[in-house]
Amino acid sequence: MAPRKPTTPPQSASRVTLKTIAEMTGLSLSTVSLSLRDGSKLKQETRDKVAEAAKALGYVPDRAGVRLRTGKTNVIALVLDSAEDSIDFARQMIQGIGQGIRGTRYHLTVIPEFERSNSDETIRYVLENRTADGVIITHTRPRDRRVQMMMDANFPFVSHGRTEFYAPHPYHDFDSHSFTVMAVERLVAKGCRCIRLAMGDDRTTYFHTVQTAFLQATAKAGVEAFVHESLMGRSPNETRAIGSALAKESKTPFGIICDSEMRTIALVGGMQEAGAVMGRDFHVVYKQTSGILPAFFPNMDSLREDVFSAGQELTRILLERINGEKPSLLQTLASPQPHWRPQPAEDLSTHDPS
């Protein structure tokens, strides 16, 4: 038997480079490089031709090489707060940002924050090591140290939420003032003469904006107002117990404005457990960020924030800031989307508490 010939291991496919794309398209190496890097000065036909070739060849940029040549990482970072108040917030935000960077040269890095106290260190690390070209932060405070650090460094960023700094910075925010006024007016129209505000993190700008608007709107309407102490850090069972006590102590009919779906579920569960009936003894307007609660409480009013669209808008603003746009021109607000559900059979305004 003849000896077997040694087999040659299959050669791995050559790495696709800018030169490969240039050869395929017939364009110069500099044109291909410019098109993939930015290309705004090139014809759309040329950019499309390069993009199609890169996709067909499976081109993946050498990010280390890009950084050495340009000083850019082609990365944007989302510093994601650990707050668990909003159902599905993280997924929708990430998907919105993903949609926003689709077709660009940018990639997304998510940095989860398990402890708010570490946020300063997270931003400091990004600044010192230039691990991203820009940053998105959420849950801003009135004098947010993260914002101050990035403004001082003239580093591109955008915040989901406003601050109280005099110098302008890019932000996209939910119009919390309109949210509060609309909620108060809705509850007053349903006969609520006492309205309670139940919220979470009292360190945020959002909390203080809502609280101020709440006190102004209830005073204007001539109804009794009560602001609960911060419910941040309360477990669902603790919040449920608060709801139960609230139902036993409050005059009816009363209204509740709640800033999160998780707290709404716990509070309403506690009130119902204590025997209170929604639409008779109390009514709720909550901030909606998912489609979960309408399945369980079809008659509960809400004002929705479109978190997916917020992610897209934050990305648009950040990319414009990276390209040099002025911060004062990169500040936008999203209007609350009212979802007034069908009124229960027994209207609050006609309820006799006796």
What pLDDT score does 10 carry?
41
Q: Which two tokens stand for residue 341?
A: 């559900």
Residue with tokens 């929705």: 304
Task: Express each pLDDT in 257-296 by its tens digit.
Answer: 999 898 999 999 999 999 999 999 999 999 999 988 888 8
What pLDDT score does 30 carry?
80
pLDDT band at 32 (very low <50, low <70, confident <90, very high): confident
Residue with tokens 């950084």: 67
CA dist 187 and 221 (Å) reads: 10
Domain ranges in the chain? 18-60, 75-173+307-334, 176-306+338-350
CA dist 15 and 35 (Å) reads: 19
Element (H, E) at 89: helix 89-100
Tell me which amino acid residue 239 is: T
Q: Which two tokens stand for residue 284?
A: 């709720």
The domain 176-306+338-350 is placed in CATH, from the list 3.90.550.10, 3.40.710.10, 3.30.70.580, 3.40.50.2300, at: 3.40.50.2300
Mean pLDDT value across the chain: 85
pLDDT band at 7 (very low <50, low <70, confident <90, very high): very low
Check residue 222 and report its DSSP letter. T
User: 181 — alpha (psi -120 to 50), left (phi > 0) or beta?
Assistant: alpha
CA dist 269 and 283 (Å) reads: 13
CB 39 within 8 A of CB 47: yes
CA dist 262 and 276 (Å) reads: 19
Provide mean pLDDT across the span 302-323: 96
What pLDDT score does 17 carry?
79
What pLDDT score does 229 carry?
74
pLDDT band at 88 (very low <50, low <70, confident <90, very high): confident
pLDDT band at 252 (very low <50, low <70, confident <90, very high): confident
Q: Count H helices, E strands: the chain?
A: 13, 12
What pLDDT score does 51 carry?
81
Q: Which two tokens stand for residue 133?
A: 């070209």
Residue with tokens 């102490």: 229
Q: Is the pLDDT of residue 188 over 50?
A: yes
What pLDDT score does 114 carry?
64
CA dist 200 and 60 (Å) reads: 43
- Rounded to two decimals, the pTM is 0.78
CA dist 104 and 210 (Å) reads: 36
Going edge to edge, which strands form the sheet with 75-80?
A: 107-112, 75-80, 134-138, 157-160, 171-174, 331-334
Q: Is the pLDDT of residue 216 over 50?
A: yes
pLDDT band at 307 (very low <50, low <70, confident <90, very high): very high
CA dist 185 and 171 (Å) reads: 28
Of residues 176 and 18, more confidently modeled: 176
CB 139 within 8 A of CB 201: yes
Q: In the chain, what percentage of residues exceed pLDDT 90?
A: 53
Q: Closest by alpha carbon to 325, among 146, 156, 98?
A: 156
What pLDDT score does 327 carry?
96
Q: Which two tokens stand for residue 115?
A: 């402890």
38, 286, 314, 315 from 100: Cα distances, Å: 16, 28, 8, 6
Pairing of strands 134-138, 157-160: parallel
pLDDT band at 343 (very low <50, low <70, confident <90, very high): low
Q: Which two tokens stand for residue 33?
A: 């490089």
pLDDT band at 29 (very low <50, low <70, confident <90, very high): confident
Check residue 167 and report its DSSP letter. S
Q: Tell the CATH topology of 75-173+307-334.
A: Rossmann fold (3.40.50)
Q: In the chain, what percentage of residues exceed pLDDT 70?
A: 84
Task: Express each pLDDT in 130-171 by its tens digit.
Answer: 899 999 999 899 999 999 999 999 999 999 999 999 999 999
What pLDDT score does 19 carry?
82
pLDDT band at 249 (very low <50, low <70, confident <90, very high): confident
Per-residue DSSP letters for 38-55? T-TTS-HHHHHHHHHHHH
Same fold, 75-173+307-334 and 176-306+338-350: yes
